[in-house]
Amino acid sequence: MKLGLLAFGVHPDDVELSCAGTLLTEKNNGKRIGIIDLTQGELGTRGTAATRKEEAGNSAKILGTDVRENLDMADGFFRNDEENQRKIITVLRKYRPEIILCNAPDDRHPDHGRAAVLVNDAAFLSGLIKIETFDKGIQQEAWRPKYVFNYIQDQYFKPSFVIDISDVIEKKVEAIKAFKTQFFTGANDTEPQTYISTPDFLENVINRSKMFGKMIGVKHAEGFLSKKMIGMNSFDAFIQNVT
């Protein structure tokens, strides 16, 4: 199955918090979308690997993803090494996405920046024909995505560009809330409180989307970073920016 857009997150819920609106928008535009979680998030204070797997499945149904896989890397201890690079290369060659999204290049959680470098390195190596990988015993063809974009997480970055997600913000929030063990669920919440489980955390995520939306004259948007120069073949790609 060839995908138009594939999002990587080092922990289940990274994608939901940061770029689920963009996935939903592209799905509504007729593209096939997928999510690859690098780890099970097993070191998280709240919940377990099993509950997060169930929650990731529930969120995938909300988002309408065509694919969601977990590469079972070690939460907190994965390395940017050949073994993990090959796992990502195999996925990229299997689904052949034109665009991939991945974690922020630097962030509060050290896993995020390391995952960003890992995915970016693997995306380049995936295009080298002398690197052999196999899927179900069949040798894969080389494939390199056209673009690798980083989504913005806890730490603020000025985005290279933003995507209007105004029409899908409610469904994005619904997908985030599918991770019931990770976020505040009400007065009966008995799990230990963490940085992301405070009642204000989700409100801050929504406020960030409002801020990015205000930059382009829409209600909500998600921001992305690009090292590569972005090219267009028509000014029709611009949305009307209310000034």
Cβ(181)–Cβ(49) under 8 Å?
no
Fill in the amino acid letter for 103: N
Cα distances (Å, whole numbers) of residue 148 to 90, 104, 144, 177, 208:
16, 11, 10, 27, 22
Fill in the amino acid letter for 226: S
Burial class (CB in 10 A: 0-12, 13-18, 19+), 232: exposed
Name the fold adopted by 5-237.
Rossmann fold (3.40.50)
Is the backbone of residue 166 left (phi > 0), alpha (psi -120 to 50) or beta?
alpha
Cβ(55)–Cβ(179) under 8 Å?
yes
Distance CA 38, CA 36 (A): 6
| pLDDT tens string 9-41 | 999 999 999 999 999 999 999 999 999 999 999
**pLDDT tens-place values along the chain, 243 residues long:** 899 999 999 999 999 999 999 999 999 999 999 999 999 999 999 999 999 999 999 999 999 999 999 999 999 999 999 999 999 999 999 999 999 999 999 999 999 999 999 999 999 999 999 999 999 999 999 999 999 999 999 999 999 999 999 999 999 999 999 999 998 777 667 788 899 998 899 999 999 999 999 999 999 999 999 999 998 888 888 776 655
pTM, two decimals, is: 0.95
